[in-house]
């Protein structure tokens, strides 16, 4: 129940203007900061200034703090009343609401614009999902940001109740019989635009890596890349055991391909699996394994007598993991994994022995497209940050032409990427799996290269605009700092940027008509 707030006049507030008896007004709300002053991260003296103590400090406050500061319970309780006859102007975000900041949302979500791709069902799904994310996932995500711990089982359970985990794998038979977002979308209706909505909403929390976005995104990314080989190539018995455990969020799974020796170069892999009756004996190490520190299963690339084979290894005797420190979140559980003579039933082989390459390749296009979606959403969030510009020489920063030029570039990039990914998503919705493999591998490679390059350009531009603020992990520039630090990851995850650009051109060259001449 919200408490009834006392009402004061500005004159009454002005009387409390000294150390030990200090009130201020922010956006019509009256705060008693008498005792807080000594604890204030910006120090007490700034609060004693003549223009602040007992005064309306709205502009000074919003020039130095994000709005979320006032919403934190420990600071919200400093409010003792409001100014008589005035109402707050700056409102807390409403779960599910669409941002009104220009270009903060794609056009399909912007009032008065149209899209050929999204139906009313996509819109209803989006609204329900954003509300759920803001109410359930975002607060947990913020807690994890501070603690460095992975998200709680309770939140994972809530996500699996809505079948968010299953939906992250995209359309398909694994959705059969499930109630998706409380039944808003039927399993057979669920398409790649629904999945794109999930990917973008997950990445929309404002910070990546150590914080919100990737906390959650990465927790589930391990699954998105490692479960499809089980779904597509596991024996019925293996699927019946593993898939429900993972999709209900009770167990975790990681893709274990890359090694310190070989990066993602599958031909250089040194982890071996040697047959011993009905068992494989697996020995070797894996590096950079997303979700590895807490995974219960590892979809593992092994060298076998006849080539490269993928085997599902449960955590057990001989499996050990240790965290790798990266420049983003420990919550992603990035691990170094050691397999020491691990005995795994041969029945855990995914696909044919020696045919592991096709098992791994099956999912590449989908994974790269997913990275594009999440990277794009994070890029758009950086564009949204331009709404909170600091004042320089008495004017908002964007009154400078040089800043507007940068903003123009940032907006153009995010809109170009958005249009490209929507066009590709439309193709995915209308192609068979084989058509996607032959027609989209190249364009998705090129698109991923483009999106991750623009990400870094935008990170640079935003850093210049935000100046020193963009260097600090907390405070006004925190979204930019995080984006600048982590946007380069998307250039590496799911295939290095240059390699993917090259793949795109090589695929196109294959389709060049023999008689093409100028």
Asked if 279 is part of the footprint of ligand HEM (rule: CB under 6 A), the reply reads no
Judged by CB under 6 A, which stretch of 42-50, 206-214, 319-327, 379-387 contacts ligand HEM? 42-50
Judged by CB under 6 A, which stretch of 64-72, 296-304, 311-319, 364-372 contacts ligand HEM? 64-72
Asked if 73 is part of the footprint of ligand HEM (rule: CB under 6 A), the reply reads no
Judged by CB under 6 A, which stretch of 59-67, 127-135, 159-167, 191-199 contacts ligand HEM? 59-67
Asked if 338 is part of the footprint of ligand HEM (rule: CB under 6 A), the reply reads no
Residues 393-420: b if buried by 16+ CB within 10 A, e if exposed: eeeebbeeeebeebbeebbebbeebbeb
Q: Are 257 and 266 in contact (CB under 8 A)?
A: yes
Q: Which two tokens stand for residue 292?
A: 């590895």
Q: How far is the CB of 15 from ligand HEM (least distance, A)?
A: 17
Q: Which two tokens stand for residue 206?
A: 């404002």
What is the Cα–Cα distance from 83 to 14, expressed in whole angstroms? 12
Asked if 270 is part of the footprint of ligand HEM (rule: CB under 6 A), the reply reads no
Q: How far is the CB of 485 from ligand HEM (least distance, A)?
A: 16
Asked if 117 is part of the footprint of ligand HEM (rule: CB under 6 A), the reply reads no
In sequence order, which residues have a C-beta less than 8 Å from that of residue 227 and are 6 or more positions away? Answer: 169, 243, 246, 247, 253, 299
Q: Contact with ligand HEM (CB under 6 A): which of 12, 67, 75, 388? A: 75
Asked if 83 is part of the footprint of ligand HEM (rule: CB under 6 A), the reply reads no
Give 46 or 346: the residue with its C-beta nearer to ligand HEM: 46
Q: According to CB under 6 A, which residues from 430 to 489 bind ligand HEM?
A: 474-475
Judged by CB under 6 A, which stretch of 12-20, 55-63, 187-195, 394-402 contacts ligand HEM? 55-63
Residue 463's nearest CA partner among 478, 433, 445, 484 is 484
Q: Are 295 and 321 in contact (CB under 8 A)?
A: yes
- What does DSSP assign to residue 149? P
Residue that has been written with the tokens 């999709």 in this structure: 247
Asked if 30 is part of the footprint of ligand HEM (rule: CB under 6 A), the reply reads no
Q: Contact with ligand HEM (CB under 6 A): which of 65, 241, 343, 352? A: 65
Q: Are 323 and 366 in contact (CB under 8 A)?
A: no
Q: With contacts defined by CB under 6 A, how many residues of the chain interact with ligand HEM? A: 19
- CA triplet 103, 106, 111: central angle to 5 degrees? 80
- What does DSSP assign to residue 56? B
Asked if 59 is part of the footprint of ligand HEM (rule: CB under 6 A), the reply reads no
- What does DSSP assign to residue 38? G
Q: Contact with ligand HEM (CB under 6 A): which of 8, 23, 31, 132? A: 31
Asked if 61 is part of the footprint of ligand HEM (rule: CB under 6 A), the reply reads yes
The torsion angles phi and psi of 221, rounded to 5 degrees, stand at -65, -35
Q: Contact with ligand HEM (CB under 6 A): which of 13, 22, 60, 344? A: 60
Give 69 or 357: the residue with its C-beta nearer to ligand HEM: 69
Asked if 25 is part of the footprint of ligand HEM (rule: CB under 6 A), the reply reads no
Residue 31's beta-bridge partner residues? 24, 79
Q: How far is the CB of 327 from ligand HEM (least distance, A)?
A: 20
Asked if 57 is part of the footprint of ligand HEM (rule: CB under 6 A), the reply reads yes
Q: Contact with ligand HEM (CB under 6 A): which of 52, 137, 165, 246? A: 52
Q: Which of left, alpha, beta for 259 (phi over 0: left; psi -120 to 50: alpha)?
A: beta
Q: Which of left, alpha, beta for 182 (phi over 0: left; psi -120 to 50: alpha)?
A: left
Give 60 or 225: the residue with its C-beta nearer to ligand HEM: 60
Q: According to CB under 6 A, which residues from 354 to 383 bind ligand HEM?
A: none
Nearest residue by C-beta to ligand HEM? 42
The torsion angles phi and psi of 115, rounded to 5 degrees, stand at -145, 140
Q: Contact with ligand HEM (CB under 6 A): which of 40, 149, 250, 322? A: 40
Give 8 or 450: the residue with its C-beta nearer to ligand HEM: 8
Asked if 80 is part of the footprint of ligand HEM (rule: CB under 6 A), the reply reads no
Asked if 47 is part of the footprint of ligand HEM (rule: CB under 6 A), the reply reads yes
Asked if 14 is part of the footprint of ligand HEM (rule: CB under 6 A), the reply reads no
Compute CA distances 253 → 197, 239, 313, 470, 490, whole Å. 23, 13, 10, 35, 21
Q: Contact with ligand HEM (CB under 6 A): which of 12, 44, 48, 64? A: 64
Give 38 or 276: the residue with its C-beta nearer to ligand HEM: 38
What is the Cα–Cα distance from 311 to 334, expressed in whole angstroms? 20
How do strand 253-256 and strand 395-396 relate by DSSP bridges?
unpaired
Residue 162's nearest CA partner among 125, 199, 111 is 125
What is the Cα–Cα distance from 438 to 157, expressed in whole angstroms? 38
Residue 253's nearest CA partner among 217, 289, 277, 282 is 289
Judged by CB under 6 A, which stretch of 63-71, 101-109, 358-366, 412-420 contacts ligand HEM? 63-71
Q: How far is the CB of 64 from ligand HEM (least distance, A)?
A: 5
Q: Are 209 and 219 in contact (CB under 8 A)?
A: no
Write out the residues near ligand HEM by the rule CB under 6 A: 24, 31, 33, 40-42, 46-47, 52, 57, 60-61, 64-65, 69, 75, 78, 474-475
């Amino acid at each position: 129940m919200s408490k009834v707030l006392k009402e004061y006049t500005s004159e009454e507030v002005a009387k409390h203007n000294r150390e030990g008896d200090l009130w201020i007004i922010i956006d019509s709300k009256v705060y008693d900061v008498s005792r807080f002053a000594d604890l204030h991260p910006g120090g007490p003296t700034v609060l004693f200034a003549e223009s602040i103590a007992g005064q309306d400090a709205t502009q000074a406050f919003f020039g130095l703090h994000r709005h979320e500061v006032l919403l934190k319970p420990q600071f919200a309780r400093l409010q003792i009343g409001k100014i008589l006859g005035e109402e707050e102007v700056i409102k807390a975000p409403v779960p599910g609401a669409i941002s009104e900041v220009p270009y903060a949302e794609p056009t399909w979500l912007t009032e008065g614009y149209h899209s050929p791709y999204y139906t009313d069902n996509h819109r209803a799904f989006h609204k329900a999902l954003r509300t759920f994310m803001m109410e359930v996932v975002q607060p947990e995500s913020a807690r994890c940001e501070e603690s460095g711990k992975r998200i709680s089982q309770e939140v994972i359970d809530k996500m699996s109740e809505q079948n968010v985990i299953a939906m992250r794998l995209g359309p398909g038979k694994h959705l059969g019989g499930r109630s998706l977002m409380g039944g808003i979308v039927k399993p057979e209706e669920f398409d790649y635009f629904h999945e794109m909505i999930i990917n973008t909403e997950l990445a929309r929390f404002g910070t990546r890596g150590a914080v919100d976005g990737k906390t959650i995104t990465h927790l589930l990314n391990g699954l998105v890349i490692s479960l499809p080989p089980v779904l597509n190539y596991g024996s019925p018995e293996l699927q019946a055991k593993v898939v429900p455990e993972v999709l209900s969020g009770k167990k975790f799974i990681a893709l274990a391909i890359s090694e310190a020796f070989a990066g993602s170069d599958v031909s250089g892999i040194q982890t071996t699996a040697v047959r011993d009756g009905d068992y494989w004996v697996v020995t070797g190490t894996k590096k950079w394994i997303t979700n590895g520190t807490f995974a219960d299963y590892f979809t593992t690339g092994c060298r076998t007598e006849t080539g490269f084979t993928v085997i599902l290894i449960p955590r057990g005797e001989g499996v050990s993991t240790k965290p790798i420190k990266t420049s983003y979140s420990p919550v992603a559980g990035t691990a170094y994994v050691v397999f020491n003579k691990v005995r795994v039933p041969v029945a855990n082989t995914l696909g044919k022995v020696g045919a592991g390459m096709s098992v791994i390749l099956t999912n590449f296009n989908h994974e790269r497209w997913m990275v594009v979606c999440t990277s794009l959403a994070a890029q758009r969030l950086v564009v949204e940050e331009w709404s909170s510009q600091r004042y320089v020489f008495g004017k908002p920063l964007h009154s400078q032409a040089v800043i507007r030029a940068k903003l123009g570039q940032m907006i153009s990039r995010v809109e170009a990427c958005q249009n490209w990914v929507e066009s590709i998503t439309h193709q995915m919705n209308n192609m068979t799996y084989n058509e996607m493999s032959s027609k989209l591998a190249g364009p998705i490679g090129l698109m991923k290269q483009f999106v991750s390059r623009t990400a870094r350009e935008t990170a640079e531009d935003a850093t210049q605009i935000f100046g020193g603020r963009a260097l600090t992990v907390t405070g006004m520039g925190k979204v930019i700092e995080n984006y600048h630090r982590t946007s380069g990851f998307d250039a590496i995850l799911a295939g290095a940027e240059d390699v993917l650009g090259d793949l795109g051109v090589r695929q196109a060259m294959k389709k060049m008509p023999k008689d093409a001449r100028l």
